[in-house]
Amino acid sequence: MNRALKRIVLFTVVFLCITGLVFAGGSKESQKTGKGKITIAYTGFPGGLTPFWAQMAKYMQEEADALGVKLIDLSPTTADANLQKQSVDNAIDMGVQGIIIGSIDNRAFGESLKKAGSKGIIISAVDTAIDDPNVKALAQTDNLASARLLGQYIVDHTSQKGKVLILGGTLGHQTGDARRDGVKQVLEGNGYEVIFRACDWDDKKAYETAINELDAHPDIVVVFGCWDPGALAGLAAVKEKGLLGKINVYGFDGLPAAFKSIKDGELTATIKQDNKQMAHVIMNTTVLLIKGQEPPVKRLLIPGVVVDKSNVDKFLEK
Amino acid sequence: MSEANRRAVFRLKRGVQPLVGLLIIYLVFTALSPTFRTFNTFKTILTQAVVLGTLSTGATIVLISGGLDLSIGSLFGLIAVITGLMLKANIPVGISIFSSLLFGALAGAFNGAIIVSTGIPAFIGTLGMMKVYRGFAEILGKNKDISQFPLSFQSIGQGYLMPISIMVITFLVAHIILSYTKLGFNCYAIGGSNEMSRRAGIPVKKYYLIYYMIGGISTAISAIILASRLNFTNSSWGLGLELNALGAVIIGGTSLTGGVGNIARTVIGVFIVTTLNTGLSHLGVSSSWQRISIGTVIIFAVWLDIIQRRREENA
């Protein structure tokens, strides 16, 4: 009994001594990232959940390698806003000079961004804007304008009036809201009734929602998924109900799977986002800001391109 | 050495093992990562442990009593949505928090009631309730932007002092309940042998309701803290969180079969998980490998527990 108690005391003392010693000398900036190389942390939407973000992580690494920047990928594996906020907190503690965030939910970071700002860490946002004064740069698709463009395309390519089902992202998420609003504004302006359902960027939820709504509203003439995997989930529901050819399905992202579906005559069209350009611009801008230089552009809105059967081959080749 | 002393030594050893594990993990990261050994990182670990820590406290009491609550993740999501909706409806912060805690207590007690009144195994009963709570969360949160809460509410979960204080108070209250009250004594008795406790005249069903109710309250506390910390809520919150909490409790050495465990062990388990996540991040290890390492630690911890039990039985 006494021996065991002694062990507890011994371990506690050793623990306190060692942590005391390391805390005493552990806060030197030179020890943190070291070697004079710029270190940037990246935390994006989980790449395992959507190919768009898997590509984004790859492009980020390529850009970092090209610039000689050390990139630490702290992206969570699940679409959990709390985990992503924790990854930002960890990046701050790691003493990185910059953090690039492709947010799961852009409302989650307030306190962390304030802390990063006070430490002089450059924060940049990619794909989704974060409404915070500490965010110094943004590169994203002009979601609203691109969605309006797609909305007009839908109007031009839909012969009969009826209801339009929008399978959305997470409500309050800037990107998803902009895509919904852009399409909705044009369609409602042209006499269509829009049914919006938030699906939290969850493909399974998009599929189940589409099945239920197609049952409940036989007069749906168009399904629009705010992200390509969601659109493909909606397409699966349309096919399952035997409505392919009667209902047109549209997406947003420009992923290879969507292009293949367009080529096969199933998905009608999608908006191609240029995530390679986003990664290029945001990495270069962040590095320039870290170096104290003025970047050519701090807020880049990249126009999307409608991809349909007429031009899909051009994108498939890439 | 007398039998009583020998058992006391075994109990102590079982308690010490997770602590030694935590110390080793902490020291390894300290040695490997210069950025890990800063006071800021230490504070971050404490803060990141808050949600899991408060949630695991209730799960510990339920497990010690021989119960199991798989619905806490979904209940977490439902309470987060309910709290957010009340705040968005301009219900005063104090009333919203009290109502959420009350709802957590009632929901927990309802879980207990299903199990004791129907005889359905806890695993099945709470699995069913997991679906029920998630469904309600989705119905209530559907197509709603539940964000931007009053500043007084945000102050609960943001920063270091307030959330860490809440976690410490939760741990202390649970520790006092388990160590110094009849409620705690009976928790071990019921978890050790439900039948013997019944024969000894302990109102087992009544106590189960109370233990599950405590589980519901601790779920509400953790949901309120996260809603405050992130300043928004979403019906998908808490997916898989029940397994994270169970993992932390088991890593700490609380037995899945009931009757064994305490809050100190759960604190250690929670900090093992949080330190592993944070430390591996500092080493640049991807989130996928973090999951793999925590899974491995769970298996290792349970394996150690089994070895220890066998030795205890053979001694």
Model confidence over A100-109: pLDDT tens digits? 999 998 888 9
pLDDT of residue B180: 96
How much is the pLDDT for A78? 84
Check residue B283 and give its pLDDT.
Answer: 87
pLDDT means per 10 residues, chain B with 315 residues, are: 68 77 91 90 93 97 96 96 96 97 98 94 95 92 82 92 96 96 96 92 95 98 95 87 92 88 94 91 82 84 78 73
Query: Mean pLDDT in chain A?
Result: 87
Res B114: pLDDT: 95
Residue A26: its pLDDT value, please?
A: 41
Task: Return the CATH class of domain A35-140+275-302.
Answer: alpha beta
- Cβ atoms of A225 and A232 closer than 8 Å: yes
Q: Is the dihedral of CA B198, B202, B203, B208 positive or negative?
A: negative
**Stretch A105-134: mean pLDDT:** 92
Chains A & B: contacts with CB separation below 8 Å: 129
CA distance B224 to chain A (A): 13
| pTM assigned to the model | 0.79
Domain map (residue ranges) of chain A:
35-140+275-302, 143-273+307-317
Instruction: Report CB contact under 8 Å: A14, B23.
Output: yes
Interface membership of B286 toward A (CB under 8 Å): yes
Closest CA of chain B from A158, distance in Å: 27
Residue A209 has pLDDT above 60, yes or no: yes
Q: Is residue B1 part of a domain?
A: no
Query: Residue B7 domain-assigned?
Result: no
- Any A CB within 8 A of B49 CB: no
Q: Nearest to residue B245, comparing CAs of B43, B124, B121, B74?
A: B74
Asked if B145 lies within 8 A of A171 by C-beta distance, the reply is yes
* pLDDT at residue A18 in the model: 52
**Does the pLDDT value for residue A133 go beyond 60?**
yes
Distance of CA B144 to the CA centre of its chain: 29
At a CB cut-off of 8 Å and minimum separation 6, what does B22 contact? B268, B271, B272, B275
> Nearest chain B Cα to A21, which residue?
B37
Which of B25, B37, B147, B276 is the mutation pick for testing A, counting most A CBs within 10 A?
Answer: B37
Which residues on chain A are in Cβ contact (under 8 Å) with B5? 1
In-domain check, residue B67: yes
**Residue in B closest to A10 by C-alpha:** B20
Tell whether B47 is covered by a domain: yes
B 77-116 near A (Cβ less than 8 A): none
Here the CATH number for the domain that contains residue B160 is 1.10.3470
| Cross-strand pairs, A251 | A270
Inspect the interface and report whether the beta carbons of B23 and A8 lie closer than 8 Å: no
Q: How far is A317 from chain B (nearest CA, A)?
A: 32
B147: contact with A, CB 8 A cutoff: yes
Cross-chain Cβ contact B232/A4 below 8 Å: no
Residue B3 lies in a domain: no
> Does residue A195 or residue B5 have the better pLDDT?
A195
How many structural domains does chain B have? 1
Q: Does the residue B201 lie in any domain?
A: yes
Q: Is residue B22 in some structural domain?
A: yes
3-state secondary structure at position A241: coil
| pLDDT score recorded for residue A11 | 57
Instruction: Give bridge partners of residue A271 from the DSSP assignment.
Output: A252, A306
The question of ipTM being above 0.85 is answered as: no
- Domain, as residue range, for B136: 13-314
Record: contact B9-A4, CB cut-off 8 A: yes
Complete DSSP assignment for B196-249 = HHHHTT--HHHHHHHHHHHHHHHHHHHHHHHHHHHTEE-TTTTTTHHHHHHHHH
- Which positions in chain B touch A6 (Cβ < 8 Å)? none
CB within 8 Å: A95 and B230: no
Q: Please say whether the dihedral angle defined by the alpha carbons of residues A28, A84, A178 and A245, taken in this order, is positive or negative.
A: positive
Residue B298 three-state SS = helix
pLDDT band at residue A4 under the 50/70/90 scheme = low
What's the pLDDT tens digit per position in A238-276? 999 999 989 999 999 998 899 999 999 999 999 999 989
CATH 2.70.98.10 fits A143-273+307-317, yes or no: no
Alpha-carbon distance of B149 to A256, in angstroms, equals: 40
Condensed to tens digits (0 to 9), the pLDDT of residues A177-192 reads: 999 999 999 999 999 9
Judging contacts by C-beta atoms under 8 Å, the chain B residues touching residue A204 are: none
What is the reported pLDDT for A159?
86
Average pLDDT over residues A74-99: 92
Give the pLDDT confidence score for residue A28 in this predicted structure: 39
